[in-house]
Chains A and B, each alone.
Chain A
Amino acid sequence: MTRALYAEWTKLRTVSSTGWLLAATVVVTVAVSTAVAAGVDLSACTSGTACSVDTTRLALYGARVGQITVAVLAVLAVTGEYSTGLVRVTLAATPRRYRALGAKVAAVAAAATAAGVAAVAVSVITAARIFAARGLTASGGYRLALTDAATVRATIGTVGYLGLIALLSMGIAAVVRDGAAAIGVVMTLLFAFPMATLLISDPTWLRRLNQWSPMDAGLNIQATINLAHLPLQPLTGLGVLAVWAAGAVTVGGLAFRYRDA
């Protein structure tokens, strides 16, 4: 397993797109989070210090954009082997197919998580400074501080969210095998649900769509206030995304195991 892992890590590391995509993940996540923290209208905050707006969630808003580069990285890691025929070499070197795919999943998830840690940490620290400069202080019940348990859960959970998006994308890519088609499917799966919420006004259906959607359900992990009104509790929500990811990886693994490469 170590050798398979080392091989996957080398393949991932030596493709120039990997570095670019990981860097892009950090840059766009931080950029969007910073823009949102600096720009959001805080007039709904009840006093100068307390805020009914979920500032933690805003500080992590960039993950919605950063997940795209993570998904691209994950899809390319799988489909790139098919477009070049490298997959035959991989399977000659590691004939145990579950082991080959498992090593790849582990390597890509590790890379995505590492980028996620950097992206989320910088986002939260930058946003905290911005909110503090805008007059929101911890004494007023303002939550965005790494000493606050809910904020820590939201922050670590967002890293986990990005890792799960990588798993989901790899599973889909292993089934579809064509890069363009795979990214199309991943994007549709991620964005169709929140797009549908723009169209639908029925509150029951809005809740349901949130609960079923890999993206919206998973992002409940970012909530730190008004938890009673969430469509899903934070960890349950991330669990829904985990089920999606596990399902995709399982189906992808079976396809990889039983299909000719």
Chain B
Amino acid sequence: MITIRQMRRLLRAEWTKLWTVRRWSLALIATALLSLGFGLASTSATDETNQREGLLVGPHGLIVQDSFRFVHQSLDGDGTIIARVTSQDASQPDATAGIMIKNNTRPGASYASLTVTPGHGMRLGANFDADIPAGSGGTPVWLRLDRNGTVVTASRSEDGMTWQRVGSVRLVAPATTVQVGLAVTSPPHLNIKKTLGGTGYDATPTVGHATFDNVRVTGNTTGSWTGDTVGYDPSVKSDNPSVAGSSTEASGVFTVTGSGAIGPDEAADDPTQDALFGLFFGVLALIPVAVLFMTSEYKRPLILATFGASPRRRRVLAAKAAVIGAASFATGLVAALATYLIARPLFEAHGYRPPAFAYTSLAQPGVLRAVIGSALLVAALGVLSFAVAALVRHGVAAISIVIALFVLPVFVAVPLPLIASRWLMALTPTGSLAIQRVKAPTDTLAEPWSMLPGWLGLVVICGYAAVALALAVWRVERRDA
């Protein structure tokens, strides 16, 4: 059994070897400085979205898209709307058909909605940023919203008798009188084109079609049912095109068509991701350190003294991996934190601020995940470099292998079709760069790793590091030093 004291001694020995080589500590500092420098270079970009006229700003101060067909009545004070969705066309997986309470019919006004979608089940939505799963989809289904002041409670039912509560949301500053009714829409179809040097897309509108019956509003209602196509202006050319909707009612059956989308309209650009990407350069200085940390032992051959002092080779490798991993993590964390904190105000000064871009802060889980995830990816890369070096015992080969694994896929992905470059990112350590993204994954950016969910890439690079380390242990234990 290994004692804690033995392990501590081993760790201290390896730590001493790392920091007493002056070039290595300088290279670690260079890693942080290169990351910071290149990260800050990205802040030279400017975004002019905020200068555009007619930005649609939602209740939380960010730009939104809000176009759909709304069949509505005025509701004064508290009340309830119930409707049964009897059918919905599968125009798009995220087309919506359901009921809505909205402050007024102005695009961008606060709302709460309970809708079904062909592909993503039932959704409880509010204020363009809440999109809460509310169980399975499929029609027919009964929907219900109860307004109580600012609080809207949503329920669903299979038969209109027994109701199951699915959640509640809040309207932002509603007047006493709000609009209640049926809402149908279907987002445009995106055709993403990937060419050399970039990704572009064109969008064509789609039309959602749904029928309702058993539509009842209880409470103090005024006026009759009115159909409006909210947010449709054919004179404005939009990135999110829609067409005019329609609605008819015959003996209690409502047939509604609508086109467009209700939700956030933030650009795919993610300034936090851009700033943290500087680490991609920084690691060019780190990889040689992690490799030399192993191969220089063979060169000296200090390795004979090392293995003589602690003959359990597995432990030595574990201690070295822990030390290089910790040093890489610390370097990455300092670099990522400093880059984020310095870059944020610069980006804000260059147009990356509300309503086009949300303010970010370290207190937000997504930002914290990007910063700490960046440090973890540097740590995993350090351990991977070290393990490859232990495996091949040749510095030049190890550095080339790691660079080929981590850097090359970026350039190889450029001319490949979307699906192939996504696979390339999912199968190589390069995909770990996805952890630097705060916003949701997107297919419309040139950076291919932006297509992956953040955690996936991190898991892949940790997998590479773990496998390489296991192979290295296996090899080093069986081979003469």
Contacts and interface: CB of A to CB of B under 8 A. Distances in A.
Contact of A180 (B278, B281, B295): B295
B42 A183 contact: no
Interface stretch (B66-74, B212-220, B405-413, B471-479): B405-413
A44 interface: yes
B412 A65 contact: yes
Contacts of A54: 196
B447 A198 contact: yes
* Main SS at interface, chain A: helix
Interface in B401-458: 403-404, 407-408, 410-412, 415-418, 420, 446-447
Interface of A: 32, 35-36, 39-41, 43-44, 53-54, 57-58, 61, 64-65, 68-69, 71-72, 75-76, 79, 83, 178-184, 187-188, 191-192, 194-196, 198-202, 205
B287 A61 contact: no
B233 to A, nearest CB: 30
B342 to A, nearest CB: 15
Contacts of B281: 192, 195-196
18 contacts: A32-B412, A35-B420, A36-B412, A36-B415, A40-B417, A41-B194, A41-B195, A54-B196, A61-B415, A83-B299, A180-B395, A183-B395, A184-B399, A187-B403, A191-B284, A192-B284, A195-B280, A198-B277
A194 B411 contact: yes
Contacts, number: 113
B277 A199 contact: yes
Given A180-B396, A187-B399, A200 B42 contact: yes
B122 to A, nearest CB: 37
B44 interface: yes
B108 to A, nearest CB: 29
B291 interface: yes
A48 B285 CA distance: 47
Contact of B417 (A39, A53, A75): A39
B95 to A, nearest CB: 26
A57 B285 CA distance: 31
B267 interface: no
Contact of A44 (B41, B193, B408): B193
Contacts of A194: 411
A184 B283 CA distance: 10
Contacts of B280: 195
A43 B195 CA distance: 9
A200 B416 contact: no
A178 B420 CA distance: 37
Nearest to B407: A191
B284 A187 contact: yes
* Main SS at interface, chain B: helix
A56 B38 CA distance: 33
Contacts of B416: 35-36, 39-40
B410 A195 contact: yes
Nearest to A215: B411
A79 B288 CA distance: 15
Contacts of B295: 180
A199 B288 contact: no
Interface in B22-42: 38, 41-42
A48 to B, nearest CB: 18
A58 B395 contact: no
Interface of B: 38, 41-42, 44-45, 193-196, 274, 277-278, 280-281, 284-285, 287-288, 291-292, 295, 299, 395-400, 403-404, 407-408, 410-412, 415-418, 420, 446-447
Given A191-B407, A198-B447, A184 B415 contact: no
Contacts of A195: 38, 280-281, 407, 410
A182 B299 CA distance: 16
B193 A199 contact: no
A102 B226 CA distance: 87
A187 B407 contact: yes
A40 B415 contact: yes
B44 A202 contact: yes
A75 B397 CA distance: 11
A191 B44 CA distance: 21
A184 B287 contact: yes
Nearest to B286: A184
Contact of A199 (B41, B292, B299, B418): B41
Contacts of A83: 299
B442 to A, nearest CB: 16
Nearest to A62: B412
Contact of B292 (A180, A188, A202): A180
A184 to B, nearest CB: 4
Contacts of A188: 284-285
A96 B416 CA distance: 50
A58 B415 contact: yes
Contacts of A205: 44
A41 B280 CA distance: 28
Contacts of B396: 72, 75-76, 79, 179-180, 182-183
Contact of A184 (B44, B284, B418): B284
A219 B292 CA distance: 32
Contact of B44 (A58, A65, A200): A200
A83 B446 CA distance: 42
B38 A199 contact: yes
Contact of A183 (B41, B44, B299, B399): B399
